[in-house]
Structures are given as C-alpha cells and as structure tokens.
C-alpha cells in the first residue's frame, strides 16, 4: 500500500518473501536522469513562434488523431512512429513571442534530440512565392474607394471565415487534421486583401508574393481612362398661337424604343409640319430625335420672336456617372408652429416658438446618365451613346391657397434612348397657359365717369407656351486629339 505522505510502500507478506521484495524495490528505486522532465528554449530564425507551437502540440499531443482524422504528418513513417511512441503525450510547447522562441518540456533526453531535429526542419526561410508582401498602387483614372469595393466583391471568400484572410496558416492546417480545402490554387478568391487610400487615390494590396503579379495585372486592367460625355442642353419656351400650336408629335405605333431602327419611316422620328393643328393641348412629356424639319420650324419661330431661351447649360460627365442640373426657385411655406415653455430667472415662464418651414422647388430639374456604347468609330465613322434620362421634372407655381400654402403643378419624365454621337433629342409637350386681362378704351372718352364704360372694353388674352428641352451629347475621348481640341474650345 503506498503512503503518499512519506513516499513509502507498506508491504505485508510472509517473512521469507521480504528478502526478495527488498531486492526488487532497491533495483527499482534508482535515479534515472534520462527519464526526468526537462525544459529547453529554441530560438527561431525564420518561423513564427506561435505557428511552431501549434504544430508541435498538434503532432506530439495527438490532438489531430483524436478527431478521427489523420493528420498531415501521420503519412510520414518516421512521424507515425514518434507520435505513437514515447513522444505521444509527453511533449508540451509554449510560444514566447517576445523573443520569437519556443519553450519545450519533455521527459527524456532522446525526446529532445527528436524535437530539435523536427524544429530545425520547420525553421527554414519562407519560400519566395509564399512570402506575404504589400504593395502600394497609385491609380491614374479609377477612384480608389470604388475599385476597392469592386475587388472585394470579386476576391472575397464569401462564406469562409474572415479571420483566415485567405492566406495559408500552418496552425489552421494542422488543426483541421491536415486536410486543406480543395480549391483552385490559381484562384485569387480569399487570398488578396485590398485597402483604399482616398487621399492619394491609391490601393494597398496585401497577398502572397506568387499572387501579387496577377492581382496587379487585374488592377491595371480596371484602371483605364473612362470616356467622358459633354452634354449641351437648351431649354426653350415657345409661344403658341391659335393658328400654330407648337408641339412634339410622335405618332408611335411601336410600344418599345429599344431595338427599333431609326429610319425616315420609323415613328420614333418626330414629323414636324408648319401647321401642326393639335386637336387639344398636350400637357405631358414627349421625346424623340430631332429632325431637320423640326429645327427648321424652330428657327422660323425664333425669327418671329416666339421663342425665348430660358437656359443653355453645358455639363461634362464621366461614362456611366450621373449628372444633374436644376434651375428655379423655392417657395417657403410655414408648415407648423411648435410652442414650448422656458423658465427664466424669477420662475417666469416664457413661450418659445419653433417654426417649421418647407420650401418646395419650382423650376426644372434634369438628371442624366450617359452610357458610351461605342467609343471608337465603326466602319461608318459613327460612335453611339445610350442616354438614360433618370428624371426631367418641371414644376410650375399656380397660386396660394387661403392659408398661404403654395399650389404647384409637377410633371416628371424618364426614359432611355440610344443615339449617335452629336445627335440631338428633344423633350417637349409641357404646355402651360397664361391669362392676361387687357383693357381697350377710346382716349379721353373712356375716362369720363358714368358714360366712360361705353367707350372701353376688357379682353382676356390666353397665351399658351411650351417648354422644349434639346439635349445633345458628345463623346469626349481623352486619348483622341480631336476630342480634346473640341473640349478646349
């Protein structure tokens, strides 16, 4: 029976057996230095201490085999004998990151020899392609933040853990039993990290060196000069009379604009006559390509002083980038009044009034997105643009209500059309009426009291006008000398 307090054994047996037992205990109770636990510090030159710690503990403590899967080193004969022999469960490793070293404790001198050999095999320089590198790439044309979002959507691991960062980690590899994911080794998904620097318009790329060339090549392909579009806009107000009501007539028999061929017989082209003879006022929007007849009639009305130019803005926009323009005024309107009390010195309560105003805009707002569909001339020397009209909103003030709330009339239009470079489109159809009271009288007689009414009359004149918007996009290729010269002009 063992006596732990005295580190002794109590033996009960016939007296003739004590001699044999004494000899057996003396043979066993000897000092064995080679079996005593010892501790040794290994200073690493190349490997990371924490990674080596995970490797040693996984290999020699049997954590990989306990999960029911075979570890990577179990396929090596020499390692199988070690993990199943005296080293199994007899080695403890602890990383000391300050000195990048490993503290190893084990029980026999032979174990230290095997562990030393194992650490020397792991503590080698990282292969050239496996080194993690960081590179700063300055962008010439693309925006750093937009490019970062695009690359992250392409190279993001998706459902994988974000902590892995897509880079190979020996500790994770060993923790999974030496079973790596079966993925395409040439894929950059989950292996590249990108960070945008907006101040310098640069991107920081961090990945393994063997992936850096492919990552840089992808960024260079995306960092190209984007086309620009110069958009000329003319906003005209055309006066209409009883004989000629100016309006844009599109007798479109097709429901869709896309895919229709723009020929002389196509209903997408506005057919403008000198006498349009509209049966009724058109209060909505219509749009079409501008024909020669349309421009001829427009210039005729200009010579008759029936066309007033409201504004002629010019906008420069990047390809696929929204551009906006607005002109008008805002009409402040008191929406509500909130009253609260404020206690001042002496306990006197003083009311505080909080006025809430709204100011609805009145005027014209234009939002466009140009899409360059063909930046290089085709065989006919033509370039094409897809013009997305996000919104053309025209608001007109009518009057005030009895409680001073403004009444406005709003019209909104949106659409998409493919046109050639420099081709005009016209958006029209917003017709408004203005009534004017005109008094006609005979001089002197019309001012005589009582009988002056016989010599004067009052007439209500209704003046109709239509707001017409002409939009002309021009492609500006920054690599084309002719386009750059036109832009300077």
> Using alpha carbons only, what angle is made at residue 93 by residues 90 and 96, rounded to the nearest 5 degrees?
160
pLDDT for the residue numbered 489 = 65
* Section 20-28 average pLDDT: 85
Q: Which has the minimum average pLDDT: 13-27, 75-89, 249-263, 298-312?
A: 249-263
Closest-CA residue to 174 (of 59, 28, 49): 59
Name the more confident of 51 and 285. Answer: 51
The answer, yes or no, to whether residue 376 has pLDDT greater than 70, is: yes
- What the chain holds in terms of domains, given with CATH numbers, is 2-62+89-123 (3.30.1370.120), 126-155+188-224 (3.30.1370.120), 308-342+355-488 (no CATH)
pLDDT at 205 over 90: yes
Give the span between the Cα atoms of 132 and 472, in whole angstroms.
52
How far apart are alpha carbons 397 and 333 in whole angstroms? 13
Confirm if 36 and 107 have CB atoms less than 8 A apart.
Answer: yes
* Tokens standing for residue 98: 């300050």
Given this model, what pLDDT does residue 86 score? 56
Tell me if 139 sits within 8 A of 201, measured CB to CB: yes
Which of 56-65, 190-199, 453-462: highest mean pLDDT? 190-199
Q: According to the model, what pLDDT value does residue 336 have?
A: 78
Query: What is the rounded average pLDDT of the residues 56-61?
Result: 82
For residue 142, CA distances in Å to 137, 319, 322 come to 12, 12, 16
pLDDT tier for residue 369 given thresholds of 50, 70 and 90: very high
**pLDDT tens digits, 238-271:** 887 655 454 434 332 333 333 333 343 433 333 3
- Residues 140-189 pLDDT 10s: 888 899 899 999 888 876 544 444 444 445 444 444 444 544 455 557 88
Kindly report which listed range (122-126, 133-137, 287-291) carries the lowest average pLDDT score.
287-291
Query: 304-318, 322-336, 365-379 — which is least confidently predicted?
Result: 322-336
**Mean residue pLDDT across the chain:** 74
pLDDT of residue 260: 36
Counted residue by residue, the chain has a size of: 489
- Is pLDDT at 66 greater than 50 in this prediction? no
Other beta carbons within 10 Å of 254: 11
pLDDT at 458 over 90: no
* pLDDT > 90 fraction of the chain, expressed in percent and rounded: 11
The predicted structure's pLDDT at residue 283: 41
Q: Is the pLDDT higher at 163 or at 421?
A: 421
CA dist 181 and 202 (Å) reads: 33
Distances (CA, A) of 164 to 167, 172, 291: 6, 8, 62
Give the pLDDT confidence score for residue 195 in this predicted structure.
92
Dihedral sign (CA 418, 421, 422, 423) = negative
User: Mean per-residue pLDDT for 435-450?
Assistant: 77
**Higher confidence at residue 109 or residue 338?**
338
Q: Are 328 and 311 in contact (CB under 8 A)?
A: no
What mean pLDDT comes out for the span 420-446?
Answer: 78
Residue percentage of the chain with pLDDT more than 70: 73
Considering only CA atoms, which of 413, 419, 422, 424 is closest in space to residue 390? 413
Round to whole Å and give the CA distance between 314 and 312. Answer: 7
């Amino acid at each position: 029976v063992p006596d732990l307090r005295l580190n002794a054994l109590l033996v009960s047996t016939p007296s003739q057996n004590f001699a044999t037992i004494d000899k057996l205990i003396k043979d066993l109770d000897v000092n064995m230095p080679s079996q005593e636990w010892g501790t040794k510090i290994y200073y690493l030159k190349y490997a990371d201490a924490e990674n080596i710690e995970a490797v040693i503990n996984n290999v020699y403590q049997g954590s990989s085999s306990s999960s029911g899967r075979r570890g990577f080193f179990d396929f090596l004969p020499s390692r199988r004998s070690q993990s199943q022999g005296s080293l199994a469960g007899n080695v403890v490793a602890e990383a000391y990151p300050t000195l990048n070293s490993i503290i190893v404790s084990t029980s026999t001198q032979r174990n230290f020899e095997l562990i030393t050999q194992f650490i020397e095999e792991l503590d080698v320089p990282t292969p050239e392609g496996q080194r993690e590198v960081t590179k700063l790439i300055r962008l010439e044309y693309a925006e750093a933040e937009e490019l970062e979002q695009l690359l992250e959507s392409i190279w993001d691991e998706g459902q994988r853990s974000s902590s892995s960062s897509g880079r190979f980690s020996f500790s994770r590899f060993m923790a999974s039993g030496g079973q790596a994911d079966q993925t395409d080794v040439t894929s950059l998904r989950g292996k590249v990290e990108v960070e945008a620097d907006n101040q310098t318009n640069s991107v920081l790329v961090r990945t393994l060196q063997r992936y850096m060339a492919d990552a840089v090549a992808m960024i260079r392909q995306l960092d190209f000069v984007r086309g620009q579009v110069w958009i000329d806009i003319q906003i005209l107000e055309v006066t209409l009379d009883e004989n000629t009501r100016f309006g844009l007539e599109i007798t479109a028999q097709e429901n869709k604009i896309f895919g229709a061929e723009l020929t002389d017989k196509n209903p997408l082209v506005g057919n403008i006559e000198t006498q349009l003879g509209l049966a009724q006022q058109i209060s909505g929007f219509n749009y079409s390509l501008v024909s020669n007849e349309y421009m001829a009639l427009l210039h005729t009305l200009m010579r008759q002083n029936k066309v007033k130019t409201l504004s002629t803005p010019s906008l420069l926009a990047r390809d696929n980038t929204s551009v906006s323009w607005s002109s008008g005024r805002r009409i402040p309107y008191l929406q509500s009044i909130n009253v609260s009390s404020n206690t001042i010195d002496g306990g006197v309560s003083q009311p505080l009034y909080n006025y809430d105003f709204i100011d609805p805009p009145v005027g014209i707002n234009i939002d466009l997105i140009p899409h360059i569909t063909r930046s290089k001339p085709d065989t006919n020397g033509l370039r094409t643009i897809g013009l997305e009209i996000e919104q053309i909103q025209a608001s007109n003030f009518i009057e005030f209500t009895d409680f001073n709330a403004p009444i406005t009339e709003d019209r909104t239009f949106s659409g998409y059309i493919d046109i050639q470079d420099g081709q005009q489109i016209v958006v029209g159809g917003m017709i408004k009426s203005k009534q004017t009271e005109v008094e006609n009288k005979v001089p002197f007689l019309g001012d005589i009291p009582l009988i002056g009414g016989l010599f004067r009359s009052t007439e209500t004149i209704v003046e109709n006008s239509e707001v017409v918007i002409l939009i002309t996009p021009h492609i500006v290729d920054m690599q084309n000398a002719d386009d750059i010269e036109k832009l300077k002009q």
